[in-house]
Amino acid sequence: MKITLFGATGLLGRELLSQCLEAGHEVSVLLRTPEKLPAALRARVKVVEGNGLDAAAVERALSGETEAILFAIGVDARSPEHLCTDVTRHILAAMRKHGIRRLVWCGGGNTVGDEDVVSLGSSFVLLFSRLFMGLRHRDKLEQIALLEESSDIDWIGIRPLQMRKGGKRGGYRVGFDRYSGLSKITAGDCANEMIRMLEDNTWLHKAPVIQY
């Protein structure tokens, strides 16, 4: 499959890139600073230099023969406000223009949806996010709202809680089970599930939690 990956230099993005290449997929990446990707990996992918906040750059990244998109952009205290939402808006516009159907994205468990089993643990996560992760929390809420308005796109989301460095372990759960701030997942297992979702419609138009 021909995949375009956003966020390739982050913890999750590196795992997605490695696993996609291992599985034989053809990968394109949009990077502000291509040098952040090791030379050995750059040689195996198509690199488009540009910023996801630039609609023209996003369109360049998707204007080839992209069949599906993986979204692994993260947000921290230094990120522009609405980063994930604005990049997603550009991606959706380019997908519609070029007839691309599939988008698999990584959100966060700090957003509580209607299908979640609300427990003391998830309520604590929500309160903590509102108080101490305002920028990230608002951005992810806006991103989900934007996607929920996009029923013409075959999008699927995954929501990890504490994502840790590590490869594929297996034995994880995906769904709307109870979770708390202690719920964990490795970047390798999150990447594994996102790649599986490229061709699985079980969670179409939904964003389940992934955890052990």
CATH number for the domain harbouring residue 81: 3.40.50.720
* Residue 66 or residue 180, greater confidence: 66
Alpha-helical regions (H) of the chain: 11-22, 39-42, 55-62, 83-98, 120-132, 134-148, 187-197
Mean per-residue pLDDT over the chain, rounded? 88
Count of domains for the chain: 1
Give the pLDDT of residue 130: 57
Specify whether the CB–CB gap between 154 and 92 falls below 8 A.
no
Count, in order, helices (H) and strands (E) of the chain. 7, 10
CA–CA separation, 168 vs 17, rounded Å?
14
Give the pLDDT of residue 179: 74
Task: Give the model confidence (pLDDT) of 89-131 as tens digits.
Answer: 999 999 999 999 999 999 876 666 677 666 666 565 555 555 4
Which domain does 142 fall in, by range? 2-211
Specify whether the CB–CB gap between 30 and 58 falls below 8 A.
yes
Residues of the chain with pLDDT > 70, as a percent, come to: 85
CA–CA separation, 4 vs 90, rounded Å?
14
Q: How confident is the model at residue 137 (pLDDT cuts 50, 70, 90)?
A: low
